[in-house]
Chain A
Amino acid sequence: MVGKAILNRKILLTASKSLLGVILFLIAFSVSARGVYQSNQDFLLEVFNNAPPKSKVVWMKGELRQGIRDILGHPYAGLRIRYWQQDEKSAWILEEIGKTEAITFGVVIANNKVDSVKVLAFRESRGSEIRYPAFTQQFQGAGLEAQQLDRHIDGISGATLSVRAMTLIVEMALYLDKFINK
């Protein structure tokens, strides 16, 4: 009887430890999903082969301001946006709220099409799957048609708002690129 009680206790203890282990792993995993994946500077060094051009700014006024408001559904924070341009390529570092926190994206546009898009910093607790190349490569070669992407982007379950934020930012970068190349 006593032996059985000890055995039960051991099983309960092992089960509790395993459960605690799983919880700690999940917490560690979710925490590791947040953070800065690449600094702005490293992103630019990578995009422009270690020699980024001097930055330029575009002021958010009039038609541009309204156009971006139409794309995002709200005004973009800030009166000016910085970008880096060399030959046909322009690089943009833009932020958009996922659910409650800002996600920092790096978008490269070449010849009016998306060259690449990256998540530079992710601060939400969920939805960081959008940073995986398997997802971001869907944007490669996408253009803008009537202020919207010319293709459908497959979503990720559990990351709907992050996917939405990335799609809007890519549309915004394409719109900005079109504006500076007018």
Chain B
Amino acid sequence: MNRQMRFLHRTMGAVIAVFVLIFSLTGILLNHSSDLELDQEYLTWNWVLAHYGISNIEPDVVYFLDQHVISQFDSRVFIDAIPAINSHKPILGGVVIDDLMLLTTEDELLLFSHDGEFIEKMTESAGIPPLIQNIGLFHGEPVVQTRQGMWRSDFMLEEWEAISLEGIAWSEPQSLPSAVEDELADYFRGKGISVERVILDLHNGRLAGSFSVWIIDILGLMLTFISITGIWLWLKRR
């Protein structure tokens, strides 16, 4: 019994010692983070980037408009690799008319200049038909398909007439070209993940993700166990 207890006490002590060493060393490093300039050093290792969810980028949707690549990541809309605007609704399509690039969501048109500069969001209050499903072009004029039917306008976009047409060039989603994907990857990754951040997450256990809670629980139980067995062994020796 005594021997088994001693064996368990020693084994658990060794396991805990590894974690105590990690916590101590990372703690000391974090204490001198500024002096060591750990916040100025960055890691770009793939597994680190993957761990922080920025190794691969996957846009929700991509459209090609007027030499530009439009992509949406959650609420962020990019023109090429430049953040252009926030849209809480998914982009459903886009067309180019005259000197405008038009993107549509369910209930608004987002207007951009050819240079990608944001002009305005037009909604139902500006005459845009609601419940849009897609946008297309018919002889250079914008047409939107809504749940209530098809509507056509001109370059002013203020008057919309109900129509029924065939032969409309509807906007279709595309794949992200690799050149833009690389630029966007650079944008999202930035310089990488700072060494300070990784050490901090190692120190507080967040690096282990959802397992961190269980690891801390197990360590807590082990510490409780070796405390009790330590006291017990000490009392026995006396």
Contact = CB atoms under 8 A, between A and B. Distances in A.
A78 B119 contact: yes
A80 B120 contact: yes
Q: Which bracket fits the contact residues of B?
A: 10 to 19
A123 interface: yes
Contacts of A44: 125
Contact of B120 (A39, A40, A81, A123): A81
Interface stretch (A5-13, A24-32, A49-57, A135-143): A49-57
B124 A39 contact: yes
B118 A78 contact: yes
A7 to B, nearest CB: 27
Nearest to A102: B86
Interface of A is mostly: mixed
Contacts of A109: none
Contacts of B88: 123
B117 interface: yes
Nearest to B88: A123
Given A54-B158, A123-B88, A78 B120 contact: yes
A20 interface: no
Contacts of A178: none
B154 to A, nearest CB: 15
A2 interface: no
Interface of A: 39-41, 43-44, 52, 54-55, 57, 77-82, 84, 93, 102, 123
Interface of B: 85-86, 88, 113, 117-127, 158
